Amino acid sequence: MTKIAVIDDWQGIARKSADWGPLSIRADVTFFEDALAGEDAVARRLRDFDIVMTMRERTPFPASLIAKLPNLRMLSITGARNRSVDMEALKGRGVAVSFTQAGEDGEATAELALCLMLSAARRVPAGDAKIRAGGFQQGIAPGFTLRGKTLGLIGLGRLGTLVASYAKALGMTIIAWSPNLTAERAAAAGVEFAEKDDLLKRADVISIHMVLAPETDGIIGARDFALMKTGAVIVNTSRGPLIDEAALLAALAQGKIVAALDVYSQEPLPEDHPLRTSPNTVLSPHLGYCVRENFKVFYEQSIDNVMAFLDGGSMPSATVQRPKISLT
């Protein structure tokens, strides 16, 4: 019988998000809720499986890992792209790849960015921790209102534009920069274009909405933190490596900035990672896209794709080179 691994189901949500009955009749489906550290551990777990159903970019699939999975015939990806998968290596092996849509249009991540801004500005995590420890307001520094403050957006694509619309409702002044953004495009979104250095100097809150690529890796570094206002809040709901982590930790230790983070250079965040004990932080465990609407679409469409693959027909979502041998 075909062996299917559903991996990185960290919240144990996969079974509840779709009807697995029809697929379970035709295949041996195993769910894995834990995360593995290291490529060899992943290879040992997955080497006997024919189909692997992934969740976003939680487990990278470089060529070196793909080479260690001799039985792999199909990789199911949730979302429209996954930059942590070596597509050429899969194509060279003749492994089929499927994708899915999302259940919403970016609102989940944009809303979380707003949530992190408000939590950082009003010291909500510190207040929550104080109450749970038996205290009340003692030692909680006063926060600040967002109305009248300046929001600097690093990136003004779909998500950045959504965040801008929320910030407008709060009465914030909004400026934006990205390597390819023009003043005309910013104006069309109702936002003021600012050069990067100017944005960093002026913004009370900075929110990053960039795609991670070689040219954007570390786009916020030590020089950028030095330009920011003391006490400025930086929000990252995009990808961890967009911020130079060493520079971030130094700025936090110095009390230069407050960081509200949903993404990290290594996920899950290691238990001994210094961010866990860093001052001036609001941390969430990559919850940006983790809403019921997305999981429902991810798993329903993934099951449809796998069923179509087993039937030897065209999968509903995009694929790369399909093997000639089916697994039925």
What are the catalytic residues?
Answer: 239, 267, 286
Rounded Cα distance between 200 and 232, Å, is 9
For Cα atoms 211, 32, 274, give the angle at the middle one, nearest 5 degrees: 55
Classify strands 51-53 and 74-76 as parallel, antiparallel or unpaired.
parallel
The CA–CA distances, whole Å, from 158 to 90, 91, 165, 259, 268 equal: 30, 30, 11, 23, 26
Sheet holding 281-283, edge to edge: 192-193, 173-177, 150-154, 205-208, 232-236, 257-261, 281-283
Report helix, strand or coil for 160: helix
CB 56 within 8 A of CB 288: no
Report helix, strand or coil for 6: strand
Sheet holding 74-76, edge to edge: 27-31, 2-6, 51-53, 74-76, 96-98
Report helix, strand or coil for 165: helix
- Tokens (6 digits) for 27: 């295949």
Judged by phi (left if over 0) then psi (alpha if -120 to 50, else beta), residue 94 lies in left
- Tokens (6 digits) for 34: 């834990």
Rounded Cα distance between 113 and 103, Å, is 18
